[in-house]
């Protein structure tokens, strides 16, 4: 996704460079007025078509990323809950004498909430920032 964002920025820079650095900036010919860049030979539709393709690819990559993060978050929550349940089920009896059922239930809900809500969000931000940093280099 970050690659397509950087690619769209680079394409816009290329488009602006190609169309504004025309040596005939006061040219009022019909070809220039219709958007045909005489220096590069490409129309505005060409540049816009490439930009649209990059934008659609970015949207699809963003959608795929959202589904992957949601799926991974659910799998992580299921794995963590099973591990917690396994540890509690095989705990010694004096653990239940020392620890109340409310504290055990609170730990289950707190840890599951962290994995469900906070962890995917923070990981998403971390990966986006790292990819943006690498892309800027």
Query: What is the structure's pLDDT at 57?
Result: 94
Residue in the block written with tokens 């970050």? 2
Number of domains in the chain: 1
Query: What is the structure's pLDDT at 58?
Result: 92
* Tens digits of pLDDT across the chain (137 residues): 878 888 888 898 888 888 877 555 555 454 554 555 555 567 888 989 999 999 999 999 989 988 888 888 888 888 888 888 898 888 888 888 888 888 888 888 887 777 777 887 888 888 888 887 887 77
- Boundaries of domain holding 54: 2-136
CB atoms within 10 A of CB 47: 20
Tokens of 85: 């349940």
Tokens of 63: 């959608």
CB atoms within 10 A of CB 77: 19
CA 58 to chain centre: 9
Report the predicted TM-score, pTM, of the whole model to 2 decimal places: 0.63
Task: List the one residue out of 61, 78, 89 whose CA is nearest residue 116.
Answer: 78
């Amino acid at each position: 996704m970050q690659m397509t964002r950087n690619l769209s920025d680079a394409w816009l820079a290329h488009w602006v460079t190609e169309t504004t650095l025309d040596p005939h900036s006061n040219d009022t010919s019909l070809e220039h007025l219709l958007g045909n860049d005489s220096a590069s030979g490409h129309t505005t539709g060409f540049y816009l078509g490439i930009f649209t393709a990059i934008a659609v690819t970015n949207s699809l990559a963003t959608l795929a990323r959202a589904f992957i993060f949601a799926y991974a978050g659910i799998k992580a929550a299921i794995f963590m809950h099973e591990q917690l349940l396994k540890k509690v089920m095989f705990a010694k009896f004096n653990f239940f004498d020392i620890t109340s059922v409310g504290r055990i239930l609170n730990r289950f809900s707190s840890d599951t909430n962290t994995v469900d809500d906070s962890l995917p969000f923070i990981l998403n931000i971390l990966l986006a920032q790292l990819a943006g940093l690498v892309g800027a280099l």
